Amino acid sequence: MIGDALLRRFQHDVEMVEHRFADGTRRLIPHWRHAHPPVRNVNTELQQSFTPLERIALAATVHVGSPGFFLMIATWTVVWLSWNVLAPRPYRFDPAPAFVLWLFISNMIQILLMPLLMVGQNLLNRHSELRAEADFEINQKAEREVEAILLHLEHQTASIEHQGELILEILRRLERHE
């Protein structure tokens, strides 16, 4: 019987409560204990765990990966290269075709952003892991609640069957007395 299997599996989460029926009989009915810890907010937990440097790395990761940052770098590159190719010679500060200063600045940006982005991605990965863990906890809690509902429904079914038997017994007695 499914109810017996559930009772054995969750014996520590179920307490037996005595019920008295209209016919005077008493039976022990299992009741699920509802003592669940509150659901964790992993977003808040994670935000509170960041150091100031980790907050900077996360902000850089979010902003560098945006279309706005791409447009900013693309605009800076086009303006820089256009100026140093098309401006009058005395005003060119990074002459073509070498563009040494532009290459130096571009490389510095890449060198500084690469480890910062890796740190930010690790932080985002930590957030994903915490969310997955919280989802798993919620799924386990939901499974236990569903099993409690099934257990309750099975015992309600048994009670209804018992009541049906009592009604049939009453009808049989009434037929005999007629």
Tokens representing 43?
């977003």
Element (H, E) at 28: strand 26-32
Mean local confidence (pLDDT), 5-26: 71
Instruction: Let me know: does 80 contact 94? Beta carbons within 8 Å.
Output: yes
For 75-107, the pLDDT digits (tens) are 999 999 999 999 999 999 998 899 999 999 999
Evaluate if pTM is beyond 0.75: no
For 110-154, the pLDDT digits (tens) are 999 999 889 889 988 988 998 999 899 889 888 888 887 888 888
Instruction: Let me know: does 7 contact 148? Beta carbons within 8 Å.
Output: no
Q: What is the pLDDT of residue 75?
A: 97
Higher-pLDDT residue of 46, 70: 70
Q: How many CA atoms lie within 13 A of 48 on its CB side?
A: 5
pLDDT at 26 over 70: yes
Q: How confident is the model at residue 10 (pLDDT cuts 50, 70, 90)?
A: low
Say which residue the tokens 């299992």 belong to: 30
Of 18, 5, 11, whose CA–CA distance to 33 is shortest?
Answer: 11
Q: What is the pLDDT of residue 36?
A: 66
Q: What is the pLDDT of residue 1?
A: 46
38 DSSP assignment: P
Maximum alpha-carbon separation in the chain: 124
| Cross-strand bridge partners of residue 17 | 29
Please state the domain extents for the chain: 2-177
Of 4, 25, 24, whose CA–CA distance to 14 is shortest?
Answer: 4
**10-45 burial by CB neighbour count: b if 16+ within 10 A, else e?**
beebbeeeeeeeeeeeeeebbbbeeeeeeeeebeee
Based on its alpha-carbon atoms, the radius of gyration of the chain, rounded to whole angstroms, reads: 35
